[in-house]
Amino acid sequence: MTRVSLRSFAAIFGIMTIQAIAQPPRARDLAVPLEGTPGPLNAITDIAGIEVGQTTLIDGASVRTGVTAIWPRGKQSDDPAFGGWFSLNGNGEMTGTTWLEESGFLDGPVLITNTHSVGVVRDAYIAWQVQHQRKPGTNSFGGGFWSLPIVAETYDGFLNDTNGFHVKPAHVVQALDGATSGRVQEGNVGGGTGMICFGFKGGIGTSSRISGQYRVAALVQCNCGAKRQLRIAGVPVGQELDRPSVASTARPAEDRGSIIIVVATDAPLLPNQTKRLARRASLGLARMGSTSGNGSGDIFIAFSTANPNAAKPAGGMATLSMLPNDALGPIFDATVQATEEAIVNALVAAQDMTGVDGHTVTALPHDALRQVLKKYNRTASTR
């Protein structure tokens, strides 16, 4: 995300300034011991074709929100990808999942925002399709079409004036059109701007793994968990840091708030196999200490960028490739590892934030994290 004529953009669309945030440290910069081999960017964009766009809204004392968009094949493509989804706990929303389940295709981007902006984000994407004459790859007939976008949410009402409905269609368009490959901003950005994770400031995080000739990656919008639950590299970090010097005014006791996890791979998987990947994201979350509490909407989606043109094959017959189920073990491993690191990256990248009604949430303190890992002999240099 770059700072390009932000004042002009705000003046044209009548919106608040969109903040640009410099790239913060990541988990591996703090010597957190993590399993597996990451891709070059250690991000979901390590998978060829994927583009990510984010609009971050920070204004005055009460606006702390935004939108994140993930295009499976890039914004220029209208080719659906095989996909599946899984709800670990359903106290949340991800629109379009009934058609995803029925058709087996992720038809368009995955969009993530705050709970009360799901509707405007969904409608704005459909309007974007109409404006760009972009028909869905699975639902078009003659000159018309109907669209069932994937839009997910987590609740940011502790830091954001969520009932102010600050996400506007122009913000969604900016995330969609501004999506790029390359580095992905993490922490207090996009849909994750006002989120809280394990009692510390949360937000957007991403990571990738190389699994043989394939790549697997995850992007999370984390807003879940209680501080007492937080574990990093197997260490009870939350319990160690649950003292006044690092305490925040965030929800102290219960696991509530939600997490959205997007898993991507270039391995040739069929829709039922991508659903199996989405389920494995649960294990990456569990490594962090979460038990998926009643108030947490923990909803995951996975897709494969292999098998292009499967939705509308030339000649009417698709020839597909797939990994046999017996070969999925390393892909499952990579999914769990990438999910875990994506959550840690979101925590490490996030910064202290004060929002609506003066609520303040502190970020995970880097030096204290290093000290706790060292105490348990769990650093990358000693593992």
The answer to whether the beta carbons of residues 201 and 362 sit under 8 Å apart is yes
- Please report, for the chain, the start and end positions of each structural domain, with discontinuous segments joined by +: 24-375
Q: What is the pLDDT of residue 4?
A: 32
The catalytic position among 79, 161, 266, 298 is: 298
Task: For residues 373 and 83, give the distance between their C-alpha atoms in angstroms, rounded to a whole number.
Answer: 37
Cα 82 to chain centroid distance, Å, stands at: 18
pTM over 0.95: no
Strand ranges in 42-101 using DSSP code E only, listed in sequence order: 51-59, 63-71, 81-90
Q: Where are the alpha helices (DSSP H) in the chain?
A: 6-13, 97-103, 118-131, 169-177, 237-241, 271-287, 329-349, 366-375
CATH code, residues 24-375: 3.60.70.12
Strand partners, 120: none
pLDDT digits (tens, 9 = 90+) for 47-64: 999 999 999 999 999 999
Alpha-carbon span 52 to 72, nearest angstrom: 9
Q: Does residue 29 carry a catalytic annotation?
A: no
- The per-residue pLDDT for 22 is 63
Can you list the residues of the chain whose pLDDT is less than 70? 1-22, 243-253, 381-383
The reported pLDDT for the residue numbered 236 is: 98
* 296 classed as catalytic: yes
Coil/strand/helix, residue 115: helix
Which candidate in 62, 103, 248, 296 is catalytic? 296
Active-site option among 181, 258, 282, 292: 258
Q: Is 357 known to be catalytic? A: no
